[in-house]
């Protein structure tokens, strides 16, 4: 974080006169007689990180792409990586509210080619509302970032809008928050879906979606016990507690770079949410019942990427005969990297789990289907879902989930076990998919999940996202009739 971004208590201080809150048609204005900086002037460190954030957010705002924070953009110092990510994630989490406020400050919208300037306005509002950055830095560095984008004309517009917001903040917030979708920073259709599915919980779900997700680890118990790893974290002065539901899980008090985790490169631990860890915990008894070591047990992990659940099963049973498939070749590279770091082995295949052209014809003892879904249970980790997901996606996804279940069921041995999971909290993708499958599949039986996590939802259990706790996730346990 640059010096100008040092957090401080909020306070507007002495106000200055502002320009009219509209885009200038010319090349910018001179303020107080000062010489105008050229549009291509080198950006200060504080402005540079905002330039990078605006460039990252612009295509997301145009609904062209998902939010991608892999790697550090050029011009951003390593010490500012945390600020860069916090700005990008934060704007996406609060986008409906920030957009509504921006609409009150602008006389007309920016042109399509100026989405980066619109992103800067949202970034400035986010800093003033939700971050402990000094207001003068939030305004000055954000407006100055327009020059780093080669659009010096926008500095006056951004200054005027942000300073007007400082003066009229209370009234502007009250006005836009009359709309629940704005106040809760979710698209209306998604709030309606949450309220219909979870009438007593929908507001808490929205609040959890708008909070920062905790960093949760899965301990490789083949190499170290959870208790011993907690001791290593304490020695490294990293505060952490054992997860209440995942038997191998640990939640950190504050997120950190994985390079700071003791033994990460040696495979002692992986990053995985607590809810996701429960899939392996649910599937493990089926493997143990066949062979306590997992030897000779055929496991299929369908839609495996990024591979955390596969790694969990192989850590529990290194002798498993595991096959992992995913339709996304690029994401499979992450699976292979994970397996290599953990020194685990599996057959990794780029294939479509709704087809059979990849299958050798030998049935599997256990199948894990982590089905493609809306991601509505992990919005806090992927806040661009609010912008990119559409209402008609849910029906399409539910049909795909049913097709995957039907296809994979034919690959399961009689007496075998299938665990179905999604990171969704929408019943159309979960309980209703399972209800239809069970009604159409006479040899499928839903097993009661006896657990203290989540709640009963159709044939499975549903977890809702928890502030400082697990993500939203659905799991169902099905067995196939026969020997």
The pLDDT tens digits for 342-386 are 999 999 999 999 999 999 999 999 999 999 999 999 999 999 999
Element (H, E) at 142: helix 135-148
* Contacts of range 177-185, beta carbons closer than 8 Å, 24 or more positions apart: 177/97, 179/100, 181/96, 182/96, 182/97, 182/100, 183/97, 184/210, 185/93, 185/94, 185/95, 185/96, 185/97, 185/210, 185/386
CA distance 103 to 172: 10
* In 262-363, beta strands by DSSP E: 269-271, 298-302, 321-326, 347-350
Query: Rounded to 5, what percent of the chain is helix, strand, coil?
Result: 45, 15, 40
Q: What's the CA gap between 163 and 176, in Å, rounded?
A: 18
For 28, residues 6+ apart whose C-beta sits below 8 A from its C-beta are 36, 152, 153, 154, 155, 156
User: 344-347 contacts: CB < 8 A, separation 24 or more?
Assistant: 344/311, 344/314, 344/315, 344/318, 345/314, 346/301, 346/310, 346/314, 346/320, 346/322, 347/322, 347/323
Those residues whose C-beta lies under 8 Å from the C-beta of residue 295, and which sit 6 or more positions away, are 319
Helices (H), 319-463: 329-342, 385-388, 391-409, 431-440
pLDDT score at 284: 97
Which pLDDT score, from 0 to 100, does residue 76 have? Answer: 83
Give the predicted TM-score (pTM) of the model: 0.87
Phi and psi torsions of 464, nearest 5°: -100, 150
Q: Element (H or E) spanning 414, and its range?
A: strand 412-422
Containing H/E element for 83?
A: helix 81-93
Confidence of residue 40 (pLDDT cuts 50, 70, 90): low
Using alpha carbons, select from 352, 462, 348, 476 the residue that is nearest to residue 404. 352
pLDDT above 70 coverage of the chain, percent: 91
Give mean pLDDT, residues 218-237.
97
What are 279's two structure tokens?
Answer: 């899939």
156-170 pLDDT, tens digit per residue, is: 999 999 999 999 999
| Measured CA distances, 344 to 5, 33, 246, 336, 400 (Å) | 43, 66, 21, 9, 30
Q: 243 catalytic, yes or no? A: no
Q: What are phi and psi of 137, to 5 degrees?
A: -75, -40
**Strand duo 249-252 + 216-219: pairing:** antiparallel
The 10s digit of each residue's pLDDT in 297-341 is 999 999 999 999 999 999 999 999 999 999 999 999 999 999 999
Helix (H) or strand (E) holding 93: helix 81-93
Average pLDDT over residues 244-261: 96
Which regions of 10-77 does DSSP assign to beta strands (E)?
Answer: none
CB atoms within 10 A of CB 147: 24
pLDDT bracket for residue 68 (50, 70, 90): confident
Helix (H, G, I), strand (E, B) or coil at 299: strand
pLDDT (mean) for 215-236: 97
- The pair phi, psi for residue 109, each rounded to 5°, is -70, 155
Average pLDDT of span 221-250: 97
To the nearest whole number, what is the mean pLDDT of the chain? Answer: 91
Choosing from 92, 303, 373, 423, the catalytic residue is 423
Q: Predicted confidence band at 11 (pLDDT cuts at 50, 70, 90)? A: very low
Task: Please list the residues that pair with 421 across neighbouring strands.
Answer: 370, 475
What phi, psi does 235 have (nearest 5°)?
-65, -30
Q: Are 71 and 137 in contact (CB under 8 A)?
A: no
């Amino acid at each position: 974080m640059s010096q100008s971004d040092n957090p401080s208590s909020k306070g507007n201080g002495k106000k200055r006169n502002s320009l009219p809150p509209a885009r200038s048609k010319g090349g910018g204005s001179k303020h107080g007689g000062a010489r105008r900086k050229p549009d291509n002037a080198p950006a200060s460190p504080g402005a540079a990180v905002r330039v990078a954030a605006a460039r990252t957010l612009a295509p997301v705002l145009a609904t062209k792409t998902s939010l991608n924070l892999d790697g550090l953009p050029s011009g951003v110092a390593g010490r500012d990586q945390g600020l860069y990510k916090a700005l990008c994630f934060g704007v996406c989490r609060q986008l409906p509210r920030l957009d509504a406020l921006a609409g009150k400050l602008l006389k007309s919208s920016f042109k399509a080619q100026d989405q980066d300037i619109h992103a800067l306005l949202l970034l400035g509002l986010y800093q003033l509302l939700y971050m402990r950055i000094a207001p003068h830095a939030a305004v000055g560095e954000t407006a100055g970032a327009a020059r780093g984008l080669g659009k010096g004309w926008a500095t006056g517009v951004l200054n005027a809008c942000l300073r007007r917001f400082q003066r009229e903040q209370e009234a502007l917030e009250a006005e836009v928050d009359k709309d629940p979708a704005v106040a809760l920073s979710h698209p209306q259709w998604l709030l309606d879906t949450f309220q219909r599915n979870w009438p007593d919980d929908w507001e808490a779900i929205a609040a959890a979606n708008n909070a920062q997700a905790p960093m949760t680890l899965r301990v490789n118990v083949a190499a170290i016990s959870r208790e011993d790893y907690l001791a290593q974290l304490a020695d490294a002065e990293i505060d952490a507690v054992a997860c209440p539901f995942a038997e191998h899980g640990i939640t950190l008090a504050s997120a950190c770079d994985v390079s700071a985790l003791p033994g990460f490169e040696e495979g002692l631990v992986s990053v995985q949410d607590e809810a996701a860890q429960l899939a392996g915990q649910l599937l493990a008894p089926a493997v143990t019942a066949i062979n306590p070591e997992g030897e000779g047990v055929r496991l299929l992990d369908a839609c495996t990427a990024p591979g955390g659940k596969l790694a969990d099963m192989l850590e529990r049973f290194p002798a498993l005969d595991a096959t992992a498939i995913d339709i996304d070749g690029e994401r499979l590279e992450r699976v292979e990297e994970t397996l290599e770091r953990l020194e685990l082995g599996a057959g990794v295949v780029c294939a479509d789990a709704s087809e059979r052209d990849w299958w050798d014809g030998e049935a599997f003892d256990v199948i894990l289907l982590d089905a493609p879904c809306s991601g509505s249970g992990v919005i806090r980790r992927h806040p661009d879902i609010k912008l990119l997901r559409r209402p008609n996606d849910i029906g399409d996804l539910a049909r795909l989930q049913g097709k995957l279940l039907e296809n994979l069921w034919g690959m399961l041995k009689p007496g075998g076990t299938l665990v179905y999971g999604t990171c969704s909290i929408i019943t159309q993708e979960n309980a209703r998919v399972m209800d239809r499958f069970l009604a159409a599949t006479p040899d499928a039986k839903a097993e009661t999940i006896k657990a203290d996590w989540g709640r009963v939802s159709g044939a499975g259990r549903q977890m809702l996202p928890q502030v400082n706790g697990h993500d939203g996730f659905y799991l169902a346990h099905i067995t196939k009739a026969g020997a």
